[in-house]
């Protein structure tokens, strides 16, 4: 159930107006992501049934970008781009992947594409990418309660039955996204339930540049003049997938 998440705003930008002040809410929610520097932290919660009140699984997702540099931490994976190389660290499988950034394009343009591509496998978990297809969903404004505005998207087909998106009434930023799976999944041997995945936004900060040390790959490996990566002692037993020359 460890589905991954991509910045929702990349998909929110293609939404249509469904009800109430959706367009205005969308524009407010997108505001932090327009900046050169942005940091997002959220919590992934997996509920083994629709009646469960406590998550069976809790994971942190953290994303930070500063111009042509970025860092993404998602479950057992970490991506670090220092502007020259993109390193993927898979601690669960003891793997390190590395490739060179494409310098044939302007740095900021390239980094944006690499940033989106490096975490594109995060997208489907939110259910929000399905909203791009306007004939695949209906949208309802659920009202405002406990400091949040809520919209529900019911899908006619796909992995999710519906997704509920919550905006903060105070800040206009995204507070939570809740996705309900259409088909029951096996949550324990022989037990199949319809389940829910929530993403709780803990931090959305934009406009304040970060220290370049945050995007350094030196703690993981170094790259020699011949293009050969050498891992540090901590990762000397990891397999390295070298795509620098590709």
Question: What rounded mean pLDDT belongs to the chain?
Answer: 79
pLDDT bin (cut points 50, 70, 90) of residue 182 is very high
Q: For residue 140, what are the contacts with CB-CB under 8 A and spacing of at least 6?
A: 18, 19, 151, 152, 154
> By C-alpha distance, which of 96, 95, 104, 36 is closest to 217?
96
Q: C-alpha distances in angstroms, 211 versus 2, 29, 55, 86, 216?
A: 30, 25, 35, 18, 10
Given a cut of 50, is residue 200 above it in pLDDT? yes
pLDDT bin (cut points 50, 70, 90) of residue 115 is very low
Max mean pLDDT range (26-40, 57-71, 227-241)? 227-241
Q: Which residues, listed in sequence order, are joined to residue 46 by a DSSP beta bridge?
A: 57, 197
Q: Would you say 34 and 12 are in contact if contact means Cβ atoms under 8 Å apart?
A: no
- The secondary structure element, H or E, covering residue 153 is strand 148-155
Q: Which residues, listed in sequence order, are joined to residue 185 by a DSSP beta bridge?
A: 193
Question: Token pair of 101, please?
Answer: 């950034």
Domains of the chain plus CATH, in order, are 9-243 (2.50.20.10)
**Which of 14-18, 53-57, 87-91, 185-189 is predicted least confidently?**
14-18
Given a cut of 90, is residue 140 above it in pLDDT? no
């Amino acid at each position: 159930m460890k589905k991954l998440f991509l910045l929702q705003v990349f998909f929110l930008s293609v939404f249509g107006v469904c009800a109430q002040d959706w367009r205005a809410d969308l524009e407010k929610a997108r505001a932090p992501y327009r900046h050169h520097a942005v940091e997002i932290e959220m919590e992934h919660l997996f509920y083994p049934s629709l009646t469960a009140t406590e998550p069976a699984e809790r994971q942190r997702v953290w994303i930070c970008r500063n111009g042509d540099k970025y860092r993404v931490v998602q479950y057992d994976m970490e991506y670090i781009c220092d502007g020259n190389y993109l390193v993927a660290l898979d601690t669960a499988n003891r793997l390190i992947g590395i490739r060179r950034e494409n310098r044939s394009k302007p740095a900021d343009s390239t980094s944006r594409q690499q940033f989106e591509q490096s975490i594109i496998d995060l997208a489907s978990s939110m259910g929000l990418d399905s909203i791009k297809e306007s004939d695949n969903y209906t949208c309802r404004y659920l009202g405002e309660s406990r400091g949040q505005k809520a919209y529900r998207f019911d899908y006619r087909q796909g992995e999710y039955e519906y997704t509920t998106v919550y905006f903060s009434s105070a800040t206009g930023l995204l507070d939570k996204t809740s996705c309900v799976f259409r088909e029951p999944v096996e949550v324990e041997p022989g037990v199949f339930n319809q389940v829910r995945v929530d993403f709780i936004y803990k931090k959305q900060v934009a406009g304040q540049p970060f220290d370049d040390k945050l995007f350094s790959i030196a703690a993981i490996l170094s790259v020699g003049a011949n293009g050969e990566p050498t891992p540090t002692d901590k990762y000397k037993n990891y397999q390295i997938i070298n795509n620098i020359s590709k």
